[in-house]
Structure 1
């Protein structure tokens, strides 16, 4: 599978709240840093699973990406995502994600998320 195909599968898994698929696409020792929130998941897939299970009340309504740039085992994607929480309140965010793959798995993910201002 190509880097582009893997990243598109990750995006699709996040869009569909498919935690099992996300974990399948991540390396066992994945490091996920969310800039702006001072959150770094550095203990691998178990910690990612715990984090995502805490997000069960947030569902993706729609997601688009504007750019997907691939260079070997690295990729960058940016776009816009709309979610709703358990109270049906909308959460609208712009995002940019930077991926580094190793052995066809996401080894490092760095995410920048900015709330949309009305």
Structure 2
């Protein structure tokens, strides 16, 4: 699979709230850094799995992929995600994700998240 095909599979898994599929594309020692109003760093699949466990009440409703840029084993994707929380509250965030692949697995993911203001 190409870098773009792998990243598209990961994005599809995010869209479908499929944690197991997302993790199947991550390296065991993946490093995921999320930057927004705070910074969260997850090291390893177990850390990512625990993060998703704390987010199980939040479901993806829709997302856009405004740009997908691939250069070798690096890909960048940006767009808007809309999620729904456990009490039905809706959240919308702009995102930019940078993927670095190694041996066809996501080795490093950097996410930038900004709440959409109405």
| Category of TM-score, reference length = shorter chain | over 0.9
Query: Where do 1:63-82 residues align within 5 Å?
Result: 63-82=63-82
What are the ranges of 5 or more consecutive residues in structure 2 without an aligned counterpart? Answer: none
Match of 1:97 in 2: 97
What are the ranges of 5 or more consecutive residues in structure 1 without an aligned counterpart? Answer: none
TM-score using structure 1 length: 0.97
Cα deviation code 1:13-51 (max 9, x no counterpart): 111110100110000000000012210002x00110010
Match of 1:40 in 2: 41
Q: 1:71, CA displacement in angstroms?
A: 0.2
Q: In the aligned structure 2, how far is the partner of 1:66 from the partner of 1:38?
A: 24
Q: 1:9, CA displacement in angstroms?
A: 0.6
Q: How many residues align?
A: 117
The runs of at least 4 consecutive aligned structure 1 residues that moved more than 3 Å come to none
RMSD: 0.6
Q: 1:111, CA displacement in angstroms?
A: 0.0
Q: 1:7, CA displacement in angstroms?
A: 0.4
